[in-house]
């Protein structure tokens, strides 16, 4: 009988502890850009181990993230295309940059090593417009002397979903090619003249790995994770740059976050001999007066923790952590903008 009472009391204590933890552990949801998914997943895993709280992030593309945060079906949205200040104001939103990375051309060509093939913005634009169709085309051969190029057809792979990665890619190509800007333009979704689509960075990476003679564009973490063959790209200063965190950082070195409305800095085609020309920040979007203030507080805690503790994790995946002065601006934005329905500040 004594043993039964002890077992029963232990069971009651364990049940109470479980109930307590389930009440006090929180879970927030976010959705959007696939560009930062590898680092958000890594941060979320580390954050849960440190705090017990869960951040559930769905990698559905920037277009989907913007739609879901506007519809208030998630606690935060994520987009690689910064929203314009008038769009933020119209929907009662704020945004802040979370991390910086790079969009990288990837190819599937026999005998070509990672970083061996060189590209210019003009050549990439012509490939994506369908005016360069063979790998041994004169324009590609001219910038790759000594490289054995196959006579194969080029299969173009692009994002089929609304995508901030596509925004960064097309914004860059529109800046370096007037013809591309006129015929295709820039945006999260454009009408591609040629090629086939893949959903998410994951889908583009999978298609390029599957199809010989293909070319696609993905965030650099996906290049590393999938051991893909990337190309070099000629930057604004005429140098063929390597995609890495130092060159993404170089692209962001002249950014004026404080004076850019909504902190919506665009980092493509920046000057500097070391810059990766297809760099970009990725952004988190929140409602200024959220339906669920406690969840928004938890989102803030997650990113505050990630900014303070996640820099090394970001660097491991070849992202660039936000500089300390930018993090201060973000904190100021949280303080001045985020409020509950009564007007009380959430940070």
Give the 3-state secondary structure of 93-141: EEEEEEEEEEEEEEECCCCCCCCCCEECHHHHHHHHHCCCCECCCHHHH
Task: Tell whether 193 and 125 lie within a shared domain.
Answer: yes
Q: Do 218 and 308 lie in a common domain?
A: no
Please give the average per-residue pLDDT across 298-303, as a whole number.
98
pLDDT of residue 10: 41
**E strands of the chain, at which residues?**
27-32, 54-59, 76-79, 93-107, 118-119, 155-159, 196-198, 214-219, 229-230, 232-234, 240-241, 279-287, 320-321
> Using CA atoms, how far apart are residues 95 and 77, in angstroms rounded to an integer?
9
Residue 174 has pLDDT above 90, yes or no: yes
- Do 147 and 200 reside in the same domain of the chain? yes
Rounded to 5°, the CA angle 314-316-319 comes to: 40
Domain assignment present for residue 261? The answer is no
Do the domain assignments include residue 244?
yes
Lowest mean pLDDT among 15-19, 111-115, 325-329: 15-19
Domain boundary among 210, 237, 254: 254
Which tokens sit at 116? 């061996």
83 closest CA partner among 279, 299, 260: 260
Packing angle between helix 164-176 and helix 62-70, nearest 10 degrees?
A: 120
Q: Are residues 43 and 152 in the same domain?
A: no
| Mean pLDDT across 139-168 | 96
Residue 286 is predicted with a pLDDT of 98
Is residue 147 a contact partner of residue 112, using CB atoms and an 8 Å limit? yes
> Which domain CATH number covers 122?
3.40.190.10
Looking at the fold, whether 55 and 95 belong to one and the same domain comes out as yes
Which one of 219, 254, 289 terminates a domain?
Answer: 254
Q: What is the mean pLDDT of the chain?
A: 93
Show which of 254, 288, 303 is a domain's final residue. Answer: 254
Q: What phi-psi label fits residue 130: left (phi over 0), alpha (psi between -120 and 50 degrees) or beta?
A: left
Characterize 44-66 residue by residue with b for buried, 16 or more Cβ atoms within 10 angstroms of its Cβ, and e for exposed.
beebeeeeebbbebbbbbbbbbb
Q: Answer whether residue 14 shows pLDDT above 80.
A: no
pLDDT tens track for 64-110: 999 999 999 999 999 999 999 999 999 999 999 999 999 999 999 99
Same domain, 123 and 62: no
Question: What's the pLDDT at 24?
Answer: 54
Instruction: Write out pLDDT tens, residues 132-143.
Output: 999 999 999 999
Regarding whether 48 and 149 lie in a shared domain, the answer is no
Q: Do 247 and 292 belong to one domain?
A: no
Percent of the chain with pLDDT over 90: 92
Model pLDDT, residue 25:
73
Domain extent at residue 120 = 103-254
CA distance 282 to 97: 6
Q: Are 112 and 198 within one domain?
A: yes
In a domain, 7, yes or no: no
Looking at residue 332, its pLDDT comes to 97
- The reported pTM is 0.89
Residue positions counted in the chain: 347
Structural domain count, the chain: 2
> Lowest-pLDDT range, 15-19, 165-169, 285-289, 297-301?
15-19
The sign of the CA dihedral 295, 57, 31, 337 is: positive
> What is the arithmetic mean of pLDDT over 24-50?
94
- Is residue 5 included in any domain, yes or no? no
> What's the whole-number mean pLDDT along residues 117-140?
98
The pLDDT tens digits of the residues spanning 227-283 come to 999 999 999 999 999 999 999 999 999 899 999 999 999 999 999 999 999 999 999
Check whether residue 298 and residue 184 sit in a common domain: no
Given a cut of 90, whether residue 12 has pLDDT beyond it is: no
Q: Does residue 190 fall inside a structural domain?
A: yes
For residues 112 and 131, state if they share a domain: yes
Same domain, 95 and 109: no
């Amino acid at each position: 009988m004594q043993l039964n009472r002890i077992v029963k009391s232990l069971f009651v204590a364990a049940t109470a502890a479980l109930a307590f933890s389930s009440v006090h552990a929180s879970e927030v949801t976010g959705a959007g850009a696939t560009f930062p998914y590898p680092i958000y997943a890594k941060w979320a895993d580390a954050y849960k181990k440190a705090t017990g709280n869960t951040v559930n992030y769905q990698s559905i593309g920037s277009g989907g993230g913007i739609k879901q945060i506007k519809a208030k079906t998630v606690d935060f949205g994520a987009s690689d295309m910064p929203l314009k200040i008038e769009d933020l104001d119209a929907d009662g939103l704020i945004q802040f940059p979370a991390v910086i990375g790079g969009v990288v051309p990837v190819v599937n060509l026999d005998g070509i090593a990672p970083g061996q093939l060189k590209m210019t913005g003009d050549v990439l634009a012509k490939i994506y417009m369908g005016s360069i169709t063979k790998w041994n085309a004169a324009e590609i051969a001219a910038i790759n002397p000594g490289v054995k190029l196959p006579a194969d057809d080029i299969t173009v792979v692009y994002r089929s979903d609304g995508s901030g990665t596509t925004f960064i890619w097309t914004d860059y190509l529109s800046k370096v090619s007037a013809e591309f800007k006129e015929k295709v333009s820039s945006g999260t979704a454009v009408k591609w003249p040629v090629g086939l689509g893949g959903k998410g960075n994951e889908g583009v990476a999978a298609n390029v790995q599957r199809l010989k003679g293909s070319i696609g564009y993905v965030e650099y973490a996906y290049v590393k994770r999938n051991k893909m063959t990337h190309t070099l790209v000629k930057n604004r200063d005429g140098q063929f740059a390597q995609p890495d965190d130092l060159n993404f950082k170089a692209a962001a070195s002249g950014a004026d976050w404080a004076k850019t409305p909504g902190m919506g800095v665009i980092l493509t085609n920046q000057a500097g001999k070391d810059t990766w020309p297809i760099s970009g920040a990725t952004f988190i979007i929140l409602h200024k007066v959220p339906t669920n203030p406690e969840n928004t507080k938890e989102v803030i805690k997650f990113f505050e923790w990630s900014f303070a503790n996640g820099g090394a994790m970001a660097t491991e995946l070849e992202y660039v952590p936000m500089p300390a002065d930018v993090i201060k601006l973000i904190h100021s934005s949280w303080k001045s903008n985020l409020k509950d329905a009564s007007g009380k500040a959430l940070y």
